[in-house]
Structure 1
Amino acid sequence: MQTYEPCAPRVLGDQSWQEHAVCRPTAHHHIDLDLFFPEPDEMDRIREAKSLCAQCPVRRTCLDAALENGDRDGIRGGMTEEEREPLHSKLEHRLDYGRVNATLAGRDVHLTKSERRAVVRAAYQAGIAAERLAWLLKITEEHADKLYRRTRREIRNHSVEQAQLGNRAGGVDEGPWAAASAQTYRNDLGAAA
């Protein structure tokens, strides 16, 4: 079996991963694609389809494509429609640093809101020009400048909050506000940048 890197974010519009899918019918390997569209009570068909998905080297890519394209029908990436439903509603909050890094490297991948914010912050911290950020995110240079200004403000405000928390470390309790603002913030983006 040919291997395919399932964790690498696919480029927008790229469907070549389907060539590596276990469910792809060939002259020597007949697959009934209706198997992946069972009725909710057809448990044997669901188990059989999921069994094929479990062997698939592009299962994660298939699931990502289904979520990103809004495919709500059938079994995709080893999950039924009902199992994928919560993922559809949470997709915009996904934060995959592999996607962030792929974008920073110039790949045109699908990004969620959280991932776009992470790209902006990592690009700002790396000193990437607004012109390059605009190209990476397919936005205007003016919009990239605006995103950098917002990021600069967020970093500045975070520094001020951290300084205030440091001043409170002497034992002064300022009530519930102090406890709420004392949450730990992540300064870096891990592997990003």
Structure 2
Amino acid sequence: MTSTTNRPARPRSLGDHTWRDQAVCQSTEYNPVDPEIFFPDPDETDKITEAKALCGQCPVRRVCLDAALEAGDADGIRGGLTEEERGPLHEKIAHRLDYSRVNDTIAGRDIHLTKAERRAVIRAAYRHGVTEQRLAWLLKITEEHAQKRYRELRRALRNRDLNQPETATASSEAGIERLGRDDFGTAA
């Protein structure tokens, strides 16, 4: 499943709420906003329309939606979506895999990661030779837990390599030349 979305330039760090200062829903002297419009009853379509119109103008709408999904907020309109519209997204959040978040984590930023993103961080860290101590620091886990994750990954990679069929012998027996990944250079 691929989708195009407007992602923030950088993912929100853990505990970072500074994005709220840029939100259109923040009431100010010059922009009074009634917070009640973001918590309408399902039949209050005027309030829903008004809240979504404000969200449509918001520069941090995506960050707001991410924060709502990551925190499990099920009430009100957040990120331009109603509770019912966010429901399926809440179910899928554990499977989200955003490589910009993975790369930011490897670079040392504290990012709220999904299960899929945590697995990708472990795999990327292993591939790049990141030490177990550094992995433990990145994921906020113990060194023993990081060692266990690396052991599990090494085992999975070894088993994957063992389970791959021998295509070279089968193709040579059939008299057909098969091209491998290395035959295409670095772009493949």
TM-score category, normalised to shorter length: 0.7 to 0.9
| Partner SS for 1:24 | coil
SS of the aligned residue for 1:149 comes to helix
Does structure 2 retain, via aligned residues, the 8 Å contact 1:7–1:61? no
- CA drift of 1:171 comes to 11
Report the Cα distance in structure 2 between the residues aligned to 1:16 and 1:165, rounded to whole angstroms.
54
Instruction: Give yes or no for the alignment of 1:47 onto 2:42.
Output: no
1:92 to 94, 101, 107: 94
Structure 2 matches for 1:124-143, cutoff 5 A?
124-143=126-145
Q: For the residues of structure 1 that align with 2:84 and 2:24, how far apart are their CA atoms?
A: 22
Percent identity over paired residues: 62
Q: Runs of 5+ in structure 1 lacking a partner?
A: 173-193
Counterpart position of 1:75: 77
Q: Separation in 2 of the partners of 1:168 and 1:11?
A: 50
Change (3 A) 1:43 1:118: same
Q: Output one character per residue of 1:118-165: Cα deviation in whole Å (capped at 9) or x when no partner.
A: 000000000000000000001111111111111111222222333x16
Task: Tell me how far 1:78 sits from its aligned partner.
Answer: 0.5
- 1:12 and 1:166 map into 2 onto residues whose CA distance is 46
In 2, the alpha carbon distance for the partners of 1:69 and 1:47 equals: 24
The correspondence of residues 6-155 of structure 1 with structure 2, limited to 5 A, is 6-155=8-157
In the other structure, the counterpart of 1:182 is: none
Deviation beyond 4 Å, 4+ runs, structure 1: none
Query: How many residue pairs end up in the alignment?
Result: 167
Unpaired runs of 5+ in structure 2?
1-6, 174-188
1:166 and 2:173 aligned: no
Helix, strand or coil at the partner of 1:65? helix
